[in-house]
């Protein structure tokens, strides 16, 4: 399987809606494996098919050591609100505060077409909502009132002075490690 390039903001394919998956064949398994390899290589906590240029209802989420392969996922129940930092592998170098549901229940199919249900709170709940948004052509920045709400977290390049970025995050009362961890959805 392969690590593939992740499309970034400005590529119109990020705005396509994922088509429902009806055939659970080798092509689907190949796509899911590519999503997983590319997410882990980033590294990230989630990746959706449109981010690889495939307009299909497929995404992966990995928080902790639990890998979720989600085909045709939909939120069936949600409770509470949770405002926290969030970022995206397609918008490298930034995070912002986004209000999400605090607890979500998702029904999806696995790679064989079998239905299952998963519940998530915290980072898992946020990652599920974030990836499901990707399948609707939606990005977290769509929730921001202004681009000024974007907070730079650095891109991890060799040529940047990470201490400047960290100092600015701390000035805003943000833990730099946490900001970098959530910047990868």
Asked if 88 interacts with Ni ion (CB under 5 A), we say yes
> What does the alpha-carbon distance between residue 144 and residue 98 come to, in Å, rounded to a whole number?
8
The 10 Å Cβ neighbour count of residue 64 is: 8
Binding window for Ni ion (CB under 5 A); candidates: 6-14, 67-75, 88-96, 161-169: 88-96
> What does the alpha-carbon distance between residue 56 and residue 62 come to, in Å, rounded to a whole number?
19
The CA distances from residue 41 to 2, 33, 92, 181, in Å, are 10, 12, 14, 14
Asked if 123 interacts with Ni ion (CB under 5 A), we say no
Name the residue nearer to Ni ion (CB basis): 92 or 154: 92
Asked if 185 interacts with Ni ion (CB under 5 A), we say yes
Q: How far is the CB of 93 from Ni ion (least distance, A)?
A: 13
Give the tokens for residue 13. Answer: 């394919």
**Candidates 19, 102, 131, 162; catalytic one:** 131
Binding window for Ni ion (CB under 5 A); candidates: 61-69, 86-94, 145-153, 167-175: 86-94
Closest CA to 54 of 79, 28, 73, 90: 28
Q: How far is the CB of 107 from Ni ion (least distance, A)?
A: 21
Q: How far is the CB of 181 from Ni ion (least distance, A)?
A: 14
Name the residue nearer to Ni ion (CB basis): 88 or 135: 88
Name the residue nearer to Ni ion (CB basis): 28 or 184: 184
Closest CA to 57 of 38, 78, 31: 31
Burial of residue 7 (number of CB atoms within 10 Å: 0-12, 13-18, 19+): middle
Name the residue nearer to Ni ion (CB basis): 71 or 132: 132
Q: Is 131 a catalytic residue?
A: yes
Q: Is the distance from CB of 130 to CB of 88 less than 8 angstroms? A: yes
Q: How far is the CB of 114 from Ni ion (least distance, A)?
A: 26
Binding site for Ni ion (CB under 5 A): 88, 185
Active site residues: 131
């Amino acid at each position: 399987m392969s690590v593939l390039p992740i499309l970034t903001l400005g590529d119109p394919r990020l705005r396509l809606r994922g088509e429902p998956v009806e055939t659970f064949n080798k092509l689907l398994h190949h796509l899911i494996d590519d999503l997983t390899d590319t997410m882990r290589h980033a590294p990230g906590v989630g990746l959706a098919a449109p981010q690889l240029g495939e307009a299909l209802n497929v995404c992966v989420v990995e928080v902790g050591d639990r890998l979720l392969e989600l085909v045709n996922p939909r939120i069936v129940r949600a409770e509470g609100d949770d405002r926290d930092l969030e970022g995206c592998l397609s918008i490298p170098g930034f995070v912002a505060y986004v209000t999400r549901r605090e607890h979500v229940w998702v029904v999806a199919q696995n790679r064989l077409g079998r239905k299952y249900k998963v519940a998530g709170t915290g980072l898992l709940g946020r990652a599920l909502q974030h990836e499901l948004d990707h399948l609707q052509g939606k990005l977290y920045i769509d929730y921001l009132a202004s681009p000024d709400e974007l907070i730079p977290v650095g891109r991890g390049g060799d040529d940047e002075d990470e201490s400047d970025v960290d100092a600015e995050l701390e000035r805003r009362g943000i833990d730099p490690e946490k900001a970098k961890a959530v910047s990868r959805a």
